[in-house]
Amino acid sequence: MLTDSQVNAIRSRFPIFQRKIYLNTCSQGPLSDAVESGFHDYISSWHELGSPWELWVQHYEAARTAFAQFINASPDEVAIVTSVSAGINSIASALNFRERPKVVMGEFEFPTMGHVWLGQCPRGADVQFVKADGNRIPLGHYENVIDLNTLIVALTHVCFKNGSRSDVAAVTQIAHNAGAFVMLDDYQDCGTRPIDVKAMDLDFYLAGTLKYLLGPPGLAFLYVREELIPTLSPTIHSISNSPPALVDSSQELPPSPTSTEPFQDSTFCKTSESATSPPTSSASHRPCCSQPTNSASSPTPPPTAQGP
């Protein structure tokens, strides 16, 4: 528990608190002197040094490492993305819906979650929304919708419109019992308390810096569970995701998802498959690999990327 003087010392780092009671962090967090000076440092490095990529990449990697530590992941499992939506799109583009077409999410997801997955319908996705009951979505409603056809369950940790907190452990268990992936959108909670993606057994996790991480816009993080990385081949690419050998070539398709190599494969990495051919079900669809069970006494082990 912090003392009053410790709280006041922290509050003094946010100039706006001297003038306002700040209640808008769910949209955009207040600006601290630390973030402000980060902006000034960036501008002056640009002015004074031109384009000091090595320096900037050091900061980029420091951010990736710090975030990875914060969520108990390894830096290899974390991609820096420009928005949470970009991260969701990256995963959505990397999955196929042949064997398991269902994408399940509650009515309390942020709109972008629905939009991205609905955008996958022409590729075969069948998006199903779990109905709320007042300000909550009962677990039984998830159980009724999640089945063996479910590829992924998208879940918000805290609802952006009513603040309700999801029972992540229970929904994850239901999803994994059916062999489906779980993607947690933590943008409305990340920064308010410790988080452990391993203990939570998440497959994908997303958060951006603008809200309770008290950072700037244009920066977000995507966690991908290590075993899944080689199985994913996104069809969304950028030069910042390219391996060094391809930075000067437009004629080869880079491999995919997360990596620690700066400006080389920052979004997805280490894929064993070419994105030109759809991933095989055994390699790419961990959900297809496990058997369903509703038995609490003999739960199906969480699916693995490598097959049964």
Ligand X SMILES: Cc1ncc(COP(=O)(O)O)c(C=O)c1O
Site map for ligand X, 103-142, x if CB under 6 A? -------x-x------------------------------
Outline where the chain has alpha helix (H): 4-11, 33-49, 53-71, 84-94, 111-118, 139-145, 168-177, 281-284
Q: Choose, by CB under 6 A, the member of 32, 85, 233, 284 that binds ligand X.
A: 85
Only one of the segments 8-16, 39-47, 185-193, 290-298 lies at the binding site for ligand X (rule: CB under 6 A); that segment is: 185-193
Taking the complex as a whole, the smallest distance from the CB of residue 141 to ligand X amounts, in Å, to: 20
Asked if 197 is part of the footprint of ligand X (rule: CB under 6 A), the reply reads no
Residue in this structure with the two tokens 């997360």, named with its chain if needed: 258
- Nearer to ligand X among residue 97 and residue 205 (C-beta): 205
Please state, in angstroms and rounded to a whole number, the distance separating the CA atoms of residues 50 and 6. 39
Q: How many CB atoms lie within 10 A of CB 123?
A: 15
Please state, in angstroms and rounded to a whole number, the distance separating the CA atoms of residues 178 and 214. 37
Q: How many residues does the chain have?
A: 308
Taking the complex as a whole, the smallest distance from the CB of residue 156 to ligand X amounts, in Å, to: 5
For 173-195, give the DSSP string: HHHHHTT-EEEEE-TTTTTSS--
The residue ranges of DSSP E strands in 131-276, in sequence order, are 150-156, 181-185, 204-208, 220-224
Taking the complex as a whole, the smallest distance from the CB of residue 104 to ligand X amounts, in Å, to: 17
Asked if 187 is part of the footprint of ligand X (rule: CB under 6 A), the reply reads yes
Only one of the segments 68-76, 81-89, 116-124, 267-275 lies at the binding site for ligand X (rule: CB under 6 A); that segment is: 81-89
Q: Choose, by CB under 6 A, the member of 179, 208, 230, 279 that binds ligand X.
A: 208
Cβ-Cβ contacts under 8 Å for 188 (sequence gap 6 or more): 26, 110, 156, 157, 158, 159, 160, 163, 211, 212
Only one of the segments 7-15, 39-47, 79-87, 122-130 lies at the binding site for ligand X (rule: CB under 6 A); that segment is: 79-87
Q: Choose, by CB under 6 A, the member of 185, 202, 268, 288 that binds ligand X.
A: 185
Only one of the segments 115-123, 181-189, 197-205, 241-249 lies at the binding site for ligand X (rule: CB under 6 A); that segment is: 181-189
Q: Which residues bind ligand X (CB under 6 A)?
A: 83-85, 110, 112, 156, 160, 185, 187-188, 208, 220
